[in-house]
A and B are shown apart, each in its own frame.
Chain A
Amino acid sequence: MDGVSIEVVPGHITGIIGPNGAGKSTFLAVLAGTLPATSGTIIFDGSEITRIPAYLRARRGLVRTFQLPSEFARLTVLENLLVAAPGNRGDSLWGALLGPRYWMADENRLVAQARDLLKRFGMSAKESDYAGIMSGGQKRLIEIMRALMLRPRCLLLDEPMSGVHPRVVEEIQYYLQSLRAGGLTILMVEHELHLVEQLCDSVVVMAQGKVIGSGTMTSLRRQREIVDAYLVG
């Protein structure tokens, strides 16, 4: 990436579009800390987080999903969600050694929370199946639900609709809109331009590791070089 500088407005859904190899996923990975930034700065909620490791960024509320399936294959679907949930007293060595009486109340609360999400995404029947045997679309949903379990303040979604059944796409769309209405900030890489148009308040166009334009989809469609580079068709 070279000279990429964007600002994400709190409470908005910002889309990132661009051809394959534009650096969209790399950009998301750098923001989330799963790839190191060699230069530049990342500011999140007024604080610089450029050198902070990925797990601390996630704890601060900057949570990402992955372009490729990244489920915990030998954990069940429900366990995948529970892993992400903060605030479980059994999720430390000492808590574990103190035994179930110490953490069971937290566990029960989080299981109920996770089941609520599974129900919303129509995956209740799958909760006890291994995540590794789910379809590509179901894995995508697991990732989104997992990220939501973390109660993020800014969600970085890498092609969240890819491989997902059209009916579920609508469900995700509806859910993302309701999250935005609740004040959540979302930065989303997506190839489906009609979805970007429907969902995103503003859009950033990247090509060859650079930002070549930004604005609403309507305004971007008026810029010839962007239309030529990416929006043709």
Chain B
Amino acid sequence: MNTYYAANLLVYAAVDIIACIALNLQFGVSGIVNFSFIVFQAAGAYAAAVLSMPPDTASGYDFQIYVGGFQLPFPLPWIGGAIAGGLLSIPVGFVVLRKLRSDYQAIALLVTSIIANTVITNARPFLNGAAGLALVPQPLQDQIDPVSDSYQYFYIGLSALSVVLVWFVASRIVNSPFGRSLRAMRDNEVAASALGKNPVALKMMIFIVGGVIAGLSGAILVGFIQLWAPSVWLYPETIILFAAVIVGGRGNNLGAVLGALLVPVGFEEVTRLLPNQFDLGGLVITPQVGLIPALQWVAIGLLIIGFLWFRPEGVRPEPRRVFEGSPDPSEVELVSTA
């Protein structure tokens, strides 16, 4: 395995882990079916791109049109990406989460995702339309040679650091009394509100936190692949992340990490190893172009249905919170003392 392949695999794994942790906070912990999740990752990626790129009139960049072009040094583009994801969450959450019931919220968010992608695709002066942004500068590329092995290790390290940071924040939320209120709202919103919980405020807060983390994941990804276009954030990308959270186990961060490693990383890597031709005893079958990716989607769908049917709690179920001094001695996880 060469360094570039390993770096590619590990950075994508980090991005998927971060995204799955964010989606788990929204969907697994709080019950918000955010079918527009990928939009917030895209917002972070676009923001990080235009914050780090020079103006579109600069030499070498004048083949594309975009707003911004501030040439800010690292880590400002990543911070900007995270903020962009959070800022976008405010109007979307304000419209969708206040009045609608959860199933209608899911539909509204799905539609939001489609609308956002269509608008960005067609409004070329904003972010270069369907062609997207290219030649996005990589973090600290003027100090470390980006085509060197050491840069690949550097980027893996940065991504890993981001995973640790996001894990830390998400763990604090999930294992706190605030996380407990989120889980209560997920289980029964009306009862939670009858006990003094403000469901709209709770949803808005976690929606924004998820948006910030999603934005960061987009910033990390765009800094690595150096391009971003509407074709990489179509709404089905959100479905893959949902599959990951469902397979890994909803409501716990470890489940989200496992899901990210099993579905977007593991599953897609395994299908990449499929041969281009099948030799059936002399009969050579060459699948149509596009058949394997299509089958991948079928497999993702079957994976979701299979898990929801046979193991809805996922590979790593949400742990039961047992408090110290509990009369039940058979427990597994201590999250608090009393």
Contact = CB atoms under 8 A, between A and B. Distances in A.
A200 to B, nearest CB: 22
Contact of A125 (B190, B327, B336): B327
A83 B331 contact: no
Interface in B10-28: none
B318 interface: yes
A95 B176 contact: yes
Contact of B321 (A54, A76, A93, A115): A76
A93 B205 contact: yes
Contact of B176 (A56, A80, A90, A112): A90
A82 B318 contact: no
Interface string A112-132: 100100000000110111100
A104 B180 contact: no
Given A59-B196, A96-B176, A103-B176, A74 B322 contact: no
Contacts of B181: 83, 91
B322 A96 contact: no
Interface residues of A, number: 53
Contact of B326 (A53, A83, A90, A128): A128
Interface residues of B, number: 40
A232 B323 CA distance: 50
B288 interface: no
Contact of B320 (A107, A108, A130): A130
Contacts of B175: 100
Contact of B195 (A58, A73, A124): A58
A54 B194 contact: yes
B184 interface: yes
B177 interface: yes
14 contacts: A56-B196, A64-B194, A66-B190, A66-B194, A72-B188, A75-B187, A83-B184, A90-B177, A95-B178, A96-B172, A111-B338, A127-B326, A128-B323, A147-B195
Interface of B: 169, 172-173, 175-181, 183-184, 186-188, 190-199, 205, 209, 251, 318, 320-323, 326-328, 331, 336-338
